[in-house]
Chain A
């Protein structure tokens, strides 16, 4: 289970992204942003340091 975000961490991430939000927007965003952590947990699997990311552009022959 992802750890719920603290108020300080939440404010830091918003500030770091340069976003200016209303209090209502902050409250709503805080209620859903754990969903991002849950998604991140799904893609973070043991795969070792050598695992390459997908190429952004173009299918190579090995992809076909």
Chain B
């Protein structure tokens, strides 16, 4: 069923050549939703009529010579913490079951302006954090490679929907790995951009200073297409960066000769040792990059546990702050996992928080110095293939440091790229991290890797 799923780049070429109709493409995606979503639970709200209306409008405009670009007529989905005017935005919480926003989030507006076809709202952990919980209004998403297994989260529905071809791309958000995690475990590409590059306006907060919005798609090139539509200054977001936006696809396919990659070996070989498949994927990727002409070096940073502690303390406090009123008055309307996160806020003092924010400055300066003569650094995303969905520790913040949190702490752009498959047939991934606002370098390396390896040719057998 999944063999005919095009990438955005392929679909856009065929649409431009009038060989593919946006309406046909949308119907094919809707067919996949109807066939698969009772098993995958990627959607919390399917907007079928809106999708067909968007697709017809796109088709008419393109036929009339009004093509807007590569996202015009492409079926997409939005994580259900992203506001959509007139469409429920529930954050997968009992607290917001009746919430219908009267405005769009900035990222919703931007994708609509690019001509994308809105297929619906996608499953998330509650308020982009508490999951997977089985006591939420809708069930958690399932991994398309094996539905007994976890997608990771919190952008769980986006990961499952893209991997299974129900949509060609979607919006994820990332506070401590919520784009890169599901991208890794679902075998797709996911980019957390530099903090401030993509507006957070109209997106429910998890932790204000760690929250990022970004693209999830099958390939790095598709992430580049999506980022092009999403990036840019927005006065509605106080953290929005006012900088020129480059052409993110301009350097794709141009080779990576002389690019300099630093490998943070101690993160994934000492501080939190990864399993054999992940290590093999990383080692083989390094050799692939070397073979393509990149220069490989070793990078030493503070222990992963320091980055994890710093980010976790900030995240716990900022989340407890954002949801304090409901925690005080309606704590048991949250799901079990979100409640655990909110409870922890009681145990972090004001001084602890500011010490963490001071440590953050030191860690960011350390990463800046380590990358002064590098284009990208590389480490793991997760230690292993996806675990079973019912085998996850409830207090996961205390169960091994995250490979992703360091780059939320630093605000640097970071991407998950599929680097192979483990013994269980599930994907494994590596993480590529660029300098601030240097997403183009990350995308260039990721695209070169995808072109040089066979991993983008394999889809889940559903």
The answer to whether B309 touches A53 (Cβ under 8 A) is no
The answer to whether A63 touches B368 (Cβ under 8 A) is yes
For B209, give the chain A residue with the smallest CB separation. Answer: A56
The answer to whether B397 touches A35 (Cβ under 8 A) is yes
The answer to whether B196 touches A43 (Cβ under 8 A) is no
Q: Give chain B's interface secondary structure class.
A: helix
The answer to whether B352 touches A51 (Cβ under 8 A) is no
For B318, give the chain A residue with the smallest CB separation. Answer: A56
Residues of A contacting B196 with CB < 8 Å? Answer: 57-59
Task: Tell me, rounded to whole Å, the shortest Cβ–Cβ distance linking B61 to chain A.
Answer: 37
The answer to whether A53 touches B357 (Cβ under 8 A) is yes
Residues of A contacting B327 with CB < 8 Å? Answer: 17-19
Interface residues as binary, A36-64 with B (CB distance below 8 Å gives 1, 0 otherwise): 11111011110100011110111100011
Q: Tell whether A42 pairs with B364 under 8 Å between CB atoms, given A17-B327, A59-B411.
A: no
Q: Which residue of B331, B343, B349, B436 is within 8 Å of A64 (Cβ)? A: B436
A-B contact count (CB 8 A): 113
Asked whether any CB of chain A lies closer than 8 Å to the CB of B392, the reply is no
Size class of B's contact patch? 35 or more
For A12, give the chain B residue with the smallest CB separation. Answer: B346
The answer to whether B208 touches A54 (Cβ under 8 A) is no
C-alpha gap A21/B346 in the complex (Å)? 12
Residues of A contacting B356 with CB < 8 Å? Answer: 40, 43
Asked whether any CB of chain A lies closer than 8 Å to the CB of B68, the reply is no
Chain B residues 386-418 with CB under 8 Å of chain A are 395, 397-398, 411
Asked whether any CB of chain A lies closer than 8 Å to the CB of B312, the reply is yes
The answer to whether B360 touches A36 (Cβ under 8 A) is no
C-alpha gap A22/B347 in the complex (Å)? 17
C-alpha gap A56/B356 in the complex (Å)? 12
- Chain B residues close to A by CB (< 8 Å): 194-196, 208-209, 238-239, 241, 305-306, 308-310, 312-313, 316, 320, 324, 327-328, 331, 339-340, 342-349, 352, 354-362, 364, 368, 395, 397-398, 411, 435-437
